[in-house]
């Protein structure tokens, strides 16, 4: 296994370990992580190595050479998605200064905010939302970042998203809501939190006032 894949695998396993996300571990790698691993775009691989080393100087030098920061691989993966997944708000800011499209999504519809929510990277999420990325931006399955914070059982990120306006009754394309998703993923703390807020299960969400 090369260094590139080891960096991404380590980050994914840290997410699993941090939140006891056993259901995630059983299905590893989830598709959005898998497409990060399979990129063949040299720029993406360079960016991951520099972010992992926290070498902002070399990252700045790379960007100063005029690379196209919005270049994507064939699955739509760009440097911003790695910065979000790895939790580097510093890299994200550098990319934004160079004109990165912060709303760009991958094949499957994942935005940088989905990756930040999945990874529990609040600073990155704060930067993206302040830059204008909608808190309930949908992937191709209709799921907002809140669904992915729930998937890994990150109650802190769930709190943050909700406090910044995430819709607790948002329905995905299959009619599931954050509450029904939390029940399915067996996240009792999140279930209790959402219920206290008056969140509705899937069958009732479309009847809300």
Q: What is the DSSP string of 185-208?
A: TT-HHHHHHHHHTT---HHHHTT-
Q: How confident is the model over 92-112, as pLDDT tens digits?
A: 999 999 999 999 999 999 999
Cα gap 15→181, rounded to integer Å? 18
111-125 pLDDT per residue, tens: 999 999 999 999 999
Handedness of CA 122, 126, 128, 133 (dihedral sign): positive
Q: How many domains does the chain have?
A: 1
- Tokens, residue 81: 């998605």
Q: Comparing C-alpha atoms, which of 209, 158, 204 is closest to residue 177?
A: 204
**DSSP symbols for 80-101:** HHHHHHHT-HHHHHHHHHTT--
Q: Model confidence over 1-57: pLDDT tens digits? A: 466 666 666 666 566 555 554 444 444 557 788 888 888 899 999 999 999 999 999
Q: What is the CATH number of the domain that holds 174?
A: 1.25.40.20
């Amino acid at each position: 296994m090369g260094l590139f894949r080891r960096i991404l695998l380590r980050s994914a396993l840290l997410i699993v370990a941090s939140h006891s996300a056993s259901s995630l571990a059983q299905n590893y790698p989830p598709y959005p992580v898998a497409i990060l691993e399979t990129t063949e775009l040299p720029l993406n691989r360079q960016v991951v190595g520099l972010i992992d080393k926290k070498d902002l100087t070399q990252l700045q030098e790379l960007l100063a050479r005029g690379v196209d920061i919005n270049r994507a691989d064939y699955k739509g993966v760009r440097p911003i998605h790695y910065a979000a997944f790895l939790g580097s708000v510093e890299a994200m800011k550098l990319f934004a200064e160079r004109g990165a499209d912060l709303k760009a999504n991958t094949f499957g519809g994942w935005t940088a905010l989905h990756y930040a929510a999945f990874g529990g990277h609040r600073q990155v999420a704060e930067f993206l939302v302040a830059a204008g990325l909608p808190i309930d931006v949908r992937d191709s399955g209709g799921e907002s970042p809140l669904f992915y914070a729930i998937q890994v059982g990150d109650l802190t990120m769930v709190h943050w998203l909700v406090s910044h306006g995430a819709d607790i009754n948002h329905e995905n394309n299959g009619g599931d809501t954050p509450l029904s998703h939390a029940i399915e993923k067996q996240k009792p703390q999140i279930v209790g939190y959402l219920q206290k807020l008056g969140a509705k299960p899937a069958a009732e969400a479309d009847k809300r006032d």
